[in-house]
Amino acid sequence: MTAPPLGDLLAGLRVVSIPMRVRFRGVTHREVALIEGPAGWGEFGPFLEYPPAEAARWLASAIESAYAARPAPLRASVPVNATIPAVPPDAVAAVLHRFPGCTTAKVKVAEAGQMLADDLGRVAAVRDAMGPSARIRVDANGGWSLTEATDAVGRLAAYDLEYVEQPCASVEELADLRKALARNRIDVPIAADESIRKAEDPLRVRDLEAADLVVIKVAPLGGVANALRIVAECGLPAVVSSALDTSVGISAGVALAAALPVLDHACGLGTVGLFDGDVTTAPLVPVGGLLPQRRVTPDPGLLTHWAAPPHRVAWWRERVEQAHGLFPTSP
C-alpha cells in the first residue's frame, strides 16, 4: 500500500485516551490515534508494546479507512458476541448486561496470575447466565502449553464450547493440539487468532491444518481488502473480531464482516461496551445482538473530552512517523 504524505496524516491527527470499565488484557486506558481523510476517519491503535514494523500494518488499515472506499456490503448488519474479561464468576452477570440481545459469549481464559479453576468458574457462570442454547467460546491468547491446553480444553468441553481461540502460542502447537483432541475424542474446534494476525505467513495455519476456523482483525492485517484476501486464501470459516477499538475502528471490522461471502459465526465486534466512553455520540453498540454496517464520524466535543495529554500526543505522532516510513509513499 502507498501512503499519503506524512504531513497530511499528522495535520489532523487526534489522540484519545478512554478508560476501560474493566481491566482487559492488562489495559485500563485505551489510547488510539484517529486520522481523517477524503473517505472518512481511520483508527491507528497498535498496542503500546508493538514495534514499528507491526504498527505499520495498523497504519495501513487506518489509511485505507480514511482514504479508500469500502467493499460493497452483502448484509446490512452483523451478529456480535458478548465479551467477558477475566472477571470473577460473580461479576459475569454485570458484564453480560452490557451486551443486550447477544446469544454468543467469548470468555477470556488463561489470564496471567489465574488458575484453571478460575477459568472453569467463569465459564460455568456464563453458561448458567445465558442458558443451554447460547454459544460459548473461550480465548486463551496463546497462554497454555500443549499439555496445559489438552487438559484445559478437555475440562472446559463440559460447558459445550463453540470453539477455543488460540489455546497455544505457535502454529505447530495448534496442529498438535488439534490431533490430540481428536485422539481423545474431545469435540472442540480450534480457532487461530495470533497465528493469523501476528504471523509472517498466516497461511501456515491452513497448510499445517492447525485450525478449524480463523479469527480475523482488520487493523493488524493492514485493512479490509487484505483481510478479505487472507480469508479467501485460508479457505476456512472466519470470525471477525476487534482489537479494543473505538467505534471508528469497529466500523471497519463491521465493513469486513458485512463483505464476507459466508458469515456463520457471531463476530467479536461488540467491545465498545467495555469502554467508559467513545468518540461518537452514536456508538456502535449491539442492538438485539446486531451491529449495523455504517461509517462513524467522531464528535468534536468528545475528541476534546477524551484527548490524551500533550506528551502522549507527541509519542503517538512519532509512532505514526515511524510506521509511515516503513511502506512506500505516493508521488
C-alpha to C-alpha distance for 29 and 14, rounded to whole angstroms: 16
pLDDT of residue 331: 35
Q: Burial, 103: exposed, middle or buried (Cβ in 10 Å; 0-12, 13-18, 19+)?
A: middle
User: Residue 241: which H helix or E strand, with range?
Assistant: strand 238-241
Question: Is 299 within any annotated ligand binding site?
Answer: no
| DSSP output for 251-300 | HHHHHHHHH-S---S-BB--GGGGBS--SSSS----BTTEEE-------H
| DSSP output for 13-56 | -EEEEEEEEEEETTEEEEEEEEEEETTEEEEE---TT--HHHHH
**Of 289, 321, 317, 303, the residue nearest 83 (C-alpha):** 289
pLDDT of residue 206: 94
Grid coordinates representing 113 are 496470575
C-alpha to C-alpha distance for 103 and 250, rounded to whole angstroms: 19
Question: Is 139 within any annotated ligand binding site?
Answer: yes
Contacts of 99 (CB under 8 A, 6+ apart): 80, 81, 82, 83, 105, 270, 273, 286, 289
Q: Please, what are the domains in the chain? A: 6-69+300-324 (3.30.390.10), 77-292 (3.20.20.120)
Question: Is 165 within any annotated ligand binding site?
Answer: yes
pLDDT of residue 2: 78
Enumerate the β-bridge partners of residue 27: 24
Our answer to whether residue 106 is catalytic in this structure is: no
CA distance readout (Å), 188 to 122, 156, 192: 18, 9, 13
Per-residue pLDDT of the chain (331 residues; tens, 9 = 90+): 678 999 999 999 999 999 998 787 778 999 999 999 999 999 999 999 999 999 999 999 999 999 999 999 999 999 999 999 999 999 999 999 989 899 999 999 999 999 999 999 999 999 999 999 999 999 999 999 999 999 999 999 999 999 999 999 999 999 999 999 999 999 999 999 999 888 778 899 999 999 999 999 999 999 999 999 999 999 999 999 998 899 999 999 999 999 999 999 999 999 998 899 999 999 999 999 999 999 999 999 999 999 999 999 999 999 999 999 997 654 3
Note whether 46 and 218 are within 8 A (CB): no
Q: Determine the residue type at 312.
A: R
Q: Is the pTM higher than 0.95?
A: no
Selecting among 106, 108, 179, 198, the annotated active-site residue is: 108
* Residue given cell 504531513 in the structure block: 7
C-alpha to C-alpha distance for 180 and 141, rounded to whole angstroms: 19
Looking at residue 171, the DSSP 8-state letter turns out to be H
pLDDT of residue 14: 98
Our answer to whether residue 108 is catalytic in this structure is: yes
**Of 202, 192, 238, the residue nearest 222 (C-alpha):** 202
